[in-house]
């Protein structure tokens, strides 16, 4: 490998470490700022759709038309969702 090739490789490695984050790391937790609506059971509302929470969100009916909507207030690129 030439010196120039090594420098390009080193730059790509260093730059990619700044551009990408660990998949397990939540960079911007949106849940606390999001406006959340859902078709939910009364005791299992959308506020329960929290990772590692004491409860869980449950849809009102068992059908494909049930939903959980999070309005984030801006456009974001969501790369992963944990359940």
The pLDDT of residue 63 is 85
Number of C-beta neighbours around residue 57 at 10 A: 19
Contact at 8 Å (CB) between 38 and 59?
A: yes
Which of 3-7, 29-33, 67-71 reaches the highest mean pLDDT?
67-71
Count how many residues are written for the chain: 83
User: What pLDDT digit, counting tens, does each position of 32-71 carry?
Assistant: 777 888 888 888 888 777 777 788 888 888 888 888 888 8
Does residue 17 have a pLDDT over 60? no
Q: What is the pLDDT of residue 7?
A: 64
Single pTM value for the model? 0.50
The structure tokens 């974001």 sit at 76
Write down the residue that tokens 């949106």 correspond to: 30
């Amino acid at each position: 490998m030439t010196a120039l090739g090594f420098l390009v490789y080193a730059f790509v490695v260093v730059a990619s470490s700044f551009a990408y984050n660990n998949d397990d790391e939540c960079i911007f937790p949106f849940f606390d700022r999001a406006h959340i609506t859902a078709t939910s059971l009364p005791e299992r509302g959308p506020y329960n759709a929290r990772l590692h929470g004491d409860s869980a969100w449950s849809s009102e009916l068992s059908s494909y038309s049930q939903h959980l909507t999070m309005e984030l207030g801006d456009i974001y690129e969501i790369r992963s969702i944990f359940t």
